[in-house]
């Protein structure tokens, strides 16, 4: 049946139908336009905004929808979170009396669920006594929130040095298509599970089915799954499902934080798809677009999600979010709106990816509010500042080098260029999640080793070394061993292109 249907008034027989009596469905579908469904209620109070509705379809389970607008005293406009194929006018509707409620708790560990909490991993049914929580709730009051100042060590050199993450903070990986955001998020999952015995919640927002399947298999094979909850709203699902998936994942995380008093790592890939789904929903509801075609409610929608990701007391929700940057335009309204809420900005560079510098994190554009002597210590802040200054000076000279050659530079500039190039290579490292593609085991490096290596390069201890000796290594000691064994094969940039081959 074609879903593009015009509104049809409910006749008196429908109003008096026994199916609309007390305890039965309280409304009727009067129009269906794709994912947007108009529902009429007579003789009852209209359901509130964000309240969930169950639309009784002729076949299959009820379709879950969410109220988005009141059209008049009898009619609401709702957004279906599941496919409306085959839905007819006149279908009965039951109001739930509250927002969508999803299962939470220990029973969810190791499971893959959708936006409504329905398992999608072909596992056992959820227990009947599993607790349920609404996906819409206010952020904790400011008086109960804790400050995020404890460093969250990742074992990734360039992140720990230049953009340290905070436990209980929010970090975002910004990058265009194909520069390595998903690979970086997967490596962070791998690193966090090994270092921190907490709960992980992964939200796949607008992900490809292939990526979700690969992540599920990887987690099963690595033994990570028993401490993880996977929540997916895939690309092929209606925009409402992709729009609400982050809230479902956050609700699961909040339960462990507030009621189990456990630290939670919340990973979201890709949060831009959440904004994109919101823009689709806004268009379906007939709202006028705002800047660059985004929804007029962009700032409030992002804030409603981000402001719930906080520490409460001694327990925290730490968020790491991948953010797609459309057309590599970092002035895009979605990108700037998300960036306003994060503590650490990890910016991935297409130019560095093209040179094989993986992870392709731009040391100049990336930043963190935690890179402060009072938080990381004076030595760390000083080394990070000197690394940035050296690489920035090298970039300023690149046009001159391209035109005249490095030989035309003065002695001081040549020395800085050499050290900057060695620093760039030292800040690369192989990942555990790409070992199957590159054949090189992943490296996890302590912050002290990273600082020691960078200080040695800045001091000139490695000025006579081959640059390739520092490429794709862990600590400086490993690079020294490679330098002292000149006939040992060193990895080349193309061999590590797999680290940036995924969005």
**Active-site choice (133, 181, 422, 443):** 181
Pairing assessment for the beta strands 36-41 and 75-80 based on DSSP bridges? antiparallel
Concerning whether 157 is annotated as a catalytic residue, the answer is no
181 appears as a binding residue in the annotation: yes
175 appears as a binding residue in the annotation: yes
Strand order in the sheet with 317-324: 112-113, 228-234, 199-207, 264-269, 317-324, 170-175, 344-347, 367-368
Cα gap 450→352, rounded to integer Å:
20
Distances (CA, A) of 6 to 29, 37, 55, 89, 367: 11, 11, 18, 9, 52
C-alpha 434: how far from chain center: 20
Residue 356 token pair: 């094989």
Distances (CA, A) of 98 to 24, 52, 175: 16, 6, 38
**Active-site choice (33, 208, 414, 455):** 208
Residue 321, beta-bridge partner list? 172, 268
177 appears as a binding residue in the annotation: yes
434 appears as a binding residue in the annotation: no
Give the ranges where 163-315 is alpha helix by DSSP (H).
Answer: 181-195, 209-222, 239-258, 271-284, 298-306
Concerning whether 181 is annotated as a catalytic residue, the answer is yes
For residue 63, the SS3 value is strand
8 Å CB contact between 417 and 425: no
Pairing assessment for the beta strands 264-269 and 199-207 based on DSSP bridges? parallel
Residue 472 token pair: 């794709």
**Active-site choice (51, 187, 207, 254):** 207
Cα gap 67→48, rounded to integer Å:
7
Cα gap 137→29, rounded to integer Å:
28
293 appears as a binding residue in the annotation: no
Residue 187 token pair: 């490596």
In the block, tokens 């392709």 appear at: 360
Residues annotated in a binding site: 175-182
Residues annotated in a binding site for ATP: 175-182
Q: Which residues are catalytic?
A: 181, 207-208
């Amino acid at each position: 049946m074609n879903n593009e249907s015009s509104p049809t008034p409910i006749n008196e027989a429908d109003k008096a139908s026994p199916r609309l009596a007390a305890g039965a469905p309280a409304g009727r579908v009067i129009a269906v336009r794709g994912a947007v469904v108009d529902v009429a209620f007579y003789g009852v109070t209209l359901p509130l905004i964000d309240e969930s509705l169950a639309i009784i379809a002729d076949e299959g389970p009820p379709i879950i929808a969410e109220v988005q607008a009141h059209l008049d005293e009898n009619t609401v406009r709702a957004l279906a979170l599941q496919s409306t194929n085959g839905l007819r006018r006149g279908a009965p509707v039951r109001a739930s009396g509250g927002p969508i409620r999803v299962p939470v708790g220990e029973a969810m560990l190791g499971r893959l669920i959708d936006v409504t909490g329905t398992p999608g991993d072909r596992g056992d049914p959820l227990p009947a006594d599993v607790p349920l929580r609404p996906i819409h709730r206010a952020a904790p009051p400011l008086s109960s929130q804790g400050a995020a100042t404890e460093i969250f060590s990742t074992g990734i050199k360039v992140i720990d040095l230049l953009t340290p993450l905070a436990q209980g903070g929010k970090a975002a990986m910004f990058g265009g298509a194909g520069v390595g955001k998903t690979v970086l998020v997967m490596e962070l999952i791998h690193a966090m599970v090994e270092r921190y015995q907490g709960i992980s919640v992964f939200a796949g927002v607008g992900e490809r089915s292939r990526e979700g399947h690969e992540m599920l298999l990887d987690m099963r094979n690595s033994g990570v799954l028993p401490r993880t909850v996977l929540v997916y709203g895939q690309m092929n699902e209606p925009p409402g499902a992709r729009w609400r998936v982050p809230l479902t994942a956050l609700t699961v995380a909040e339960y462990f934080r507030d009621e189990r008093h456990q630290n939670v790592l919340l990973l979201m890939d890709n949060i831009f798809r959440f904004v994109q789904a919101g823009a689709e929903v806004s268009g379906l509801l007939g709202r006028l677009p705002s800047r660059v075609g985004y929804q007029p409610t962009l700032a409030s929608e992002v804030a409603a999600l981000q402001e719930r990701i906080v520490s409460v007391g001694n327990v925290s929700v730490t968020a790491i979010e991948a953010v797609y940057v459309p057309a590599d335009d970092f002035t895009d309204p979605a990108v700037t709106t998300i960036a306003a809420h994060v503590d650490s900005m990890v910016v991935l560079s297409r130019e560095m990816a093209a040179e094989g510098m993986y992870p392709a994190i731009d040391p100049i554009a990336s930043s963190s509010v935690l890179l402060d002597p009072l938080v990381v210590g004076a030595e760390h802040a000083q080394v990070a500042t000197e690394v940035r200054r050296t690489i920035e000076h090298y970039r300023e000279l690149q046009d001159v080098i391209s035109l005249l050659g490095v030989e035309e530079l003065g002695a001081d500039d040549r020395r800085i260029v050499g050290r900057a190039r060695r620093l760039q290579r030292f800040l690369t490292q192989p990942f555990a999640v790409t070992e199957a593609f590159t054949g090189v085991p992943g490296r996890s490096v302590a912050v002290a080793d990273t600082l020691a290596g960078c200080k040695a390069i800045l001091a000139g201890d490695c000025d006579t070394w081959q640059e390739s000796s520092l490429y794709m290594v862990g600590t400086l000691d490993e690079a020294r061993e490679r330098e002292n064994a000149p006939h040992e094969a060193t990895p080349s940039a193309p061999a590590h292109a797999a680290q940036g081959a995924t969005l």
